[in-house]
Amino acid sequence: MTADANIRQVVGRPVVKTGYGPVRGADDGRVATWKGIRYAAAPVGDLRWRAPAPPQPWTDVQDATAFGPVSPQPRSPIPMGLGTRADEDCLFLNIWAPSDVDAADSHPKPVMVWVHGGAYIFGSGSQPLYDGSVLADGSDVVVVTINYRLGALGFLDFSSAGFDSNIALRDVLAALRWVRDNIAGFGGDPDRVTLFGESAGAGIVTTLLAVPAAAGLFSRAIAQSSPATSIYDSTRASSVAHLVLDRLGMTAAEAHRAPVEALVDASMQVFDHVPTATPGRLAFAPTVDGDLVPDYPVTLARTGKTHPVPLLIGTNKDEAALFRFMRSPLMPIAPKAIRTMFEEIADDQPGLQLPTAEQIGAAYPARRARTRSLGVASDMGFRMPSVWFAEGHSAVAPVYLYRFDWATPIFKLIRLGAAHATELIYVWGNLVAGPRDVTFKLGGRNAGEALSDRMRTRWTNFAATGVPTGPQGQPRWAPYSAGGRTTLVMDRQDEIVDDLDRQIRLAWGDQVLSFR
């Protein structure tokens, strides 16, 4: 390694010169890490509800061995282990790379940039689940995780009061621009950047596929359980903004200077209220603002107007089971709530053809109405939006559709099955979260490790080449098309199935149901 290379060893720790100043990380001999790197100026004071600004340059070597603060947020109903404290100054990212990374190498490594989930109000890039050590070490990729502003700080639309809209999306774009401009110094290839995320993070991924400003910032995309149709129009966004202001008892100008704790409290109140009052809707989501987001992403996908980059997209078999288990109002599961939601959708979109009782019975042949409703909720919230998006995007780039069906014995016993987010530990290779983790208490560890190896191989090969090739001997996963509708079903053994979703496609039809 040359002395003038961007990356050098100083007392066993790698120092990298970024476009804003040098940062020192850590190296354990397996993986080099840099944590808490600022990718944008502190979004405080006048910068609240403004697009992120570039950070101020520095000259001294900055320590990058500890995570930066995460976006302020309420306490999650699921312990998330955010990894560090919360602060409004939260726009930081983290990097994992193989120890032999060298910016002078003529073969830079593919880059995977993670956008965390959490219903647009919870989570961080520093959660232990998203530790990139296994991916970086075993798969020869550079992994980046990012924070973005959440809840009222990231998803309120006060554009009518002179502020910017879609703040969180702008944060992710700023992080991607930082990666484009700086990742080569960490041994990454700026021309092979995969944007991947789950749940709300996947919703950001599918939205950015339709955002003109994202062009050229990533060359592949992975969307795990994307609520791709939960994108709201300006009227809906305005009503949520006013709900928050009503709880604060302030105008937008006054809220701009309000204590961040007050905004977090109001966010949680509205977060609980909206899906209870209007089943099927979230309080916070990206907005079709006519500026950053020109139209509904699924609509743009189905008219061939998304960025032509390869896409890997899919859902879990039992998505809604997590929300039943948590007794969360985020997804309507009871038959009455499903009926209420259908009535409201019919009022809002009178020309939309919703599934009839007969079609639901054919697509969800369960004995109990509540079990059928669980399937309806899963497919309406996640599966059909992903299928609709896949069908449209496949006209402009290769699409690989999957369904994750694996559940450990204990998850089957407690009726979680392959619930929302249960695929995450296998993608990241972080299978056990500590002695209290019950995932494998009744067995399944060997099968889980084999599944994780297959998933990480496919995900990282996709990042490297645009094709999700599996380990030797595994089935070949062909792109999705209207002719074959090839789907990879991931379970104890992987299986290729043609037109896996035929019955639910017949029930839901081709008209896109959007939660406006």
Contact indicator for 304, 242 with CB cutoff of 8 Å:
no
Is the distance from CB of 477 to CB of 470 less than 8 angstroms?
Answer: yes
Instruction: From the candidates 71, 420, 423, 452, give the one annotated as an active-site residue.
Output: 420
Count of beta carbons in the 10 Å neighbourhood of residue 336: 11
In the residue annotation, 199 being an active-site residue is answered as yes
Active site residue 420: yes
Buried-exposed string 164-197: b where 16+ CB fall within 10 A, e elsewhere: bbbbbbbbbbbbbbbbbebbbbbbbbbebbbbbb
Catalytic residue among 199, 225, 226, 452: 199
Nearest to 392, CA basis, from 175, 228, 259: 228
The residue annotated as part of the active site, out of 88, 319, 391, 423, is 319
> Phi/psi zone of residue 223: left (φ > 0), alpha (ψ -120 to 50 degrees), beta?
beta
Q: Which amino acid is at 459?
A: W
Residues 6+ apart with CB under 8 A from 311: 209, 220, 221, 222, 223, 390, 393, 397, 398, 399, 400
Determine whether 319 is an active site residue.
yes
Instruction: Tell me the torsion sign for CA atoms 248, 253, 256, 257.
Output: negative
Residue 386's SS3 state is helix
CA 79 to chain centre: 18
The residues that are catalytic are 199, 319, 420
